[in-house]
Amino acid sequence: MGPELHTIHGHRAVETLAAKLRRRQVVGSREAALETVLVLRQVVSRARFSNIQQLIAIIREVGRRLAEAQPKEHTVGNTVRRVLHNIREEANSATKAPSATTSRNVYTISKFVLQGQPRKQTASVPKSEAIATLREDDPDDPDSFARGLKPVLMEAIQDVLDELETVYENVSKNAKDHIHSDEIILTIGHSKTVEAFLKSAAHYRNYTVIVAETGPSYSGHDMARSLSNAGISTFLVPDSSIFAIMSRVNKVILGAHAILANGGLVAVAGSLLAATAAQAHSTPVVVCAGQFKLTPLWNLYHDYGALDFADPSSVLGFEEGKLVERVDVVNPYYDYVGPELVDVFITNDGDHPPSSVYRLIKETYDDDDHEL
């Protein structure tokens, strides 16, 4: 079994973050991802290991702990998987033969199928060919492996951190190519990624945004205020009029909470209405999300509880008196939107149709890590 949590150095930081996640004090997927990376960086910097498998076991234990604290916050697990993927890559390039790296240029079907599991394969390369100065499980100096590898690992983790910090800029890079002049865009709720996207496009184009305030959180109000303060002409409409105005809308831009492995997404409640209405009017649906939201999990949506229900008193409050005890109230926070309703995902790593999400997942994460 993996190492016990309390033996991991830096476990206090892990506990703190787990507590914050459990109490939902970390607000926003990107914040959760950033905090996770920082905790992992602490853990790795203080970890003691003599071969790479030990380090991976440590990180997986940490990841399992954090993911259990808040199972609906998928970016925590995604970040852990990303870090694991980077670490494996760095470790293997530091310890294995250089000839293995040149064969990467040849892209064959077998290469692609094995892409998720290259580590097991290349581990069989005889170490005698390696020019590596690192030796695993050195009996004389058990820390030499860790010492030599740590700078490289820190760099790998820093890469993940940099990517997370520049998510908004990279997603908005090509915003002006996606939005034309005089377009009418519909968006729903308050997504920071979509907000950055629209504001970046507003520097080059004049267009109109219609924001659907999604009840009962009414986060659309914040979005509308923020966009209008940036000089974009904005309309704020209630969700009931989404179908009514859809005939005038040129594009629907949604944010995502998580992108599932089948190309579907989990998004704020009301997104399914907007996406379905858009399909009925043949309007393109664009989803803006950072790549850290890619989740290698399937069938999350069959679980009724996957929708993460929120406080029913914002739907039917106690001021309604007798109704409260006689009536059931359902207040899901998220909607599952199927891949057939989405036309393109705009991520910080480029634009992808939902049919190629599985390939992105193969390239970003290792197959072993799907279940932490």
Q: How far is it, in rounded angstroms, from Cα 123 to Cα 144?
A: 20
Binding-site member from 16, 99, 101, 314 for another protein (CB under 8 A): 314
Q: Evaluate the omega torsion of the peptide bond into residue 353 and state whether it is cis, within 30 degrees of 0.
A: no
Q: How far is the CB of 335 from another protein (least distance, A)?
A: 5
Taking the C-alpha atoms of residue 272 and residue 286, their distance in angstroms, rounded to an integer, is 13
Contact string (CB under 8 A) for another protein, positions 261-300, x = contact: -------xxx-xx--xx--x--------------------
Task: Name the DSSP class of 316.
Answer: S
Q: To which residue do tokens 């991991």 refer?
A: 8
Element holding 9 (H helix, E strand):
none
Contact stretch for another protein (CB under 8 A) within 119-127, 134-142, 290-298, 308-316: 308-316
**Minimum CB distance to another protein, residue 235 (Å):** 5
Q: What residues does 213 pair with on adjacent strands?
A: 238
194 is a contact residue toward another protein (CB under 8 A): no
Among residues 280, 283, 251, 121, the alpha carbon closest in space to that of 186 is found at 251
Residue 32 sits in the site that holds another protein (CB under 8 A)? no
Cβ atoms of residues 167 and 348 within 8 Å: yes
320 binds another protein (CB under 8 A): yes
Residue 188: helix, strand or coil by DSSP?
Answer: strand
Q: Between residues 34 and 224, which has the closer beta carbon with respect to another protein?
A: 224
The nearer residue to another protein, 154 or 236, going by C-beta atoms, is 236
Interface characters, 103-122, with another protein (x: CB under 8 A): --------------------
Is residue 206 a contact residue for another protein (CB under 8 A)? yes
| β-strand partners of 180 | none
Distances (CA, A) of 79 to 148, 292, 323: 24, 7, 44
Site of tokens 């001021």: 319
- Residues composing the chain: 372
Q: Tell me: does residue 182 bind another protein (CB under 8 A).
A: yes
Task: With contacts defined by CB under 8 A, name the span among 123-131, 147-155, 250-258, 331-339 that binds another protein.
Answer: 331-339
Quick check: 244 binds another protein (CB under 8 A)? Answer: yes
- Within 13 Å of residue 2, how many CA atoms lie on the same side as its CB? 16
Which one of residues 61, 195, 239, 369 is an interface residue with another protein (CB under 8 A)? Answer: 239
**If binding is defined by CB under 8 A, does position 303 make contact with another protein?**
no
Count, residues near another protein per rule CB under 8 A: 62
Interaction of residue 218 with another protein, rule CB under 8 A = yes
Of the pair 67, 227, the CB lying nearest another protein is at 227
Is 282 within 8 Å of 341 (Cβ atoms)? no
Residue of 28, 151, 238, 350 that binds another protein (CB under 8 A) = 238
Nearest in space to 236 (alpha carbons), one of 256, 247, 220: 220
Cα(57)–Cα(363) distance, rounded to whole angstroms?
21
| Contact footprint for another protein (CB under 8 A) | 182, 184, 206, 208, 213-216, 218, 221-222, 224-225, 227-229, 231-245, 247-248, 268-270, 272-273, 276-277, 280, 304, 307, 311, 313-317, 319-320, 322-323, 326-332, 335-336
